[in-house]
Structure 1
Amino acid sequence: MSTEADLRETICTLAASLFERGLTGGSTGNISARTDDGGLLVSPTGTSFGRLDPGRLSRFDASGRLIGGDSPTKEMPLHSAFYDTRSSAGAVVHLHSCHSVAWSMMPDADDDNFLPPLTPYAIMKLGKVKLLPFFLPGDPAMGEAVRGLAGKRSAVMLANHGPVVAGKDVEAACNAIEELEDTARLAMMMRGVEARMLTAEQVSALVTQFDVEWDD
């Protein structure tokens, strides 16, 4: 059975992996996960994913009170919005990944279904990704925008900023956000090419076969 110490190590290990592969740089990005007692572990403000300290993660109790560690990321309203509206959320991760940010700037990016249907995996892991407008970093309005989705999306893309993904646990959230970035990279590679995308029938079959949340 995993312990809170294990969870702390997992958060820092996965964050370092994301950093080392250039998926978020400097002191950008933030990550959080539910603890067994209903609290949260959160990356502190101003920290690098490449150098998170398991013992200094921000620790919240089940009532949302900070009870240990350093001050949390300024994006806490964004994380709280996912936890409050999606009962299945066990972790939330936010990156400043380059290709997804680039795709968010494209004039033909679909606000309601951000990622084009290029491969099955983004559909299976993310469902539809909602493209949200630009907000100033740390603006609580980002959290309100997520709350406005009423828990119907596991992933959003903040325009000109970065993706945010909720998953059942920290591994699932990190895997899904990597799939989001990979698909955005493919979309940028295929831009201007008449790519053979998945058909509507193939997308529908995926949604049915893998029980994907697919908000119409």
Structure 2
Amino acid sequence: MSRSMAQARTALVATGRELVDLGLSPGTSGNISVRVGDRMLITPTNESMGSLQEDRLAELDLAGNHLSGPRPSKEFTLHRAFYRRSPEARAVVHLHSVNAVACACLEPWSEVSAIGPITPYFVMRVGQTPLIGYAPPGDIAQADELEARDQPFRAALLANHGSVVAHTDLASAVNTAVELEEACKLAVLTAGRSPRMLSHEQAVELAVKYGSPWST
């Protein structure tokens, strides 16, 4: 086993426990992955992320072929879709956290983002977050839509399902997922109340300054 693959295994186990401790991964929900070269290391199906073991993780290639380890999460196609559309992505976090799921049950703010520019931190750290149409968990149609979306984004909400975030490393993906969860909470709390958003100009200024995806 290469050193980078061994490090990825250690990081996945630690991150799974962190997400459970944060209350973002109830039961056996959610899955996380790391890309190492042309391989994907992902959490197994039907297992709590708080009880992951380094020698019990699934290894796939980017075509989705199962190379070793236990059966991968059935939602591995979402991870593969992000790695395919975003060459710089090295980690993906998919959660069924309460506020993300609740927000994913609401009508989207716009075609390009389920959530409006409700805080500067959402714009800076997450950016526009499209709502991907509903499909049963593990259905490749949802992954195909995510991969084909013709707009830049590092996070998406899956209709009536949860959130999925990609970033250049696992820590950044987790931080982005946490910030998205907070933005979803605010969106749910203010739904139907006509909350004041940042202006388009304010959002674009922040996005340009911090390198986050926001339609100009």
Q: Is the 8 A contact 1:85 1:150 kept in 2?
A: no
User: Residue 125 of structure 1: CA displacement?
Assistant: 2.2
Distance 2:135 2:63 in 1: 27
Q: CA deviation digits over 1:141-191, x for unaligned, max 9?
A: 011111211573221110110011111111111111111111111122233
Within a 5 Å distance, the mapping from 1:133-172 to structure 2 comes to: 133-150=133-150, 152-172=152-172
Secondary structure in structure 1 of the residue aligned to 2:45: coil
What TM-score results when the alignment is normalised by the length of structure 1?
0.90
Distance 1:108 1:149 in 2: 15
Which residue of structure 1 lines up, in the alignment, with residue 32 of structure 2? Answer: 31
Considering only aligned residues, what root-mean-square deviation do their CA atoms show, in Å?
2.0
Q: Is the 8 A contact 1:113 1:130 kept in 2?
A: yes
Secondary structure in structure 2 of the residue aligned to 1:60: strand
Which residue of structure 1 lines up, in the alignment, with residue 8 of structure 2? Answer: 7
Q: Does 2:68 align with 1:68? A: yes
Aligned pair in 2 of structure 1 residues 49, 205: CA closer, same or farther (>3 Å)?
same
Which residue of structure 2 lines up, in the alignment, with residue 177 of structure 1? Answer: 177
Q: Is the 8 A contact 2:75 2:138 kept in 1?
A: yes
AA at the equivalent of 2:136: L
AA at the equivalent of 1:115: I
Which residue of structure 2 lines up, in the alignment, with residue 20 of structure 1? Answer: 21
AA at the equivalent of 1:5: A
User: Residue 62 of structure 1: CA displacement?
Assistant: 6.3
Moved over 6 A (4+): none
Aligned length: 214
Which residue of structure 1 lines up, in the alignment, with residue 105 of structure 2? Answer: 105
Distance 2:106 2:69 in 1: 39
Q: Does 2:126 align with 1:126? A: yes
Q: CA deviation digits over 1:106-158, x for unaligned, max 9?
A: 24643421112121222122221010121111111011111211573221110
Which residue of structure 1 lines up, in the alignment, with residue 86 of structure 2? Answer: 86
Which residue of structure 2 lines up, in the alignment, with residue 53 of structure 1? Answer: 53
Distance 1:69 1:60 in 2: 9
Aligned pair in 2 of structure 1 residues 211, 30: CA closer, same or farther (>3 Å)?
same
Distance 2:31 2:38 in 1: 19
Secondary structure in structure 1 of the residue aligned to 2:55: helix
Which residue of structure 2 lines up, in the alignment, with residue 199 of structure 1? Answer: 199
User: Residue 38 of structure 1: CA displacement?
Assistant: 2.6
**Structure 2 stretches of 5 or more lacking a match?**
none
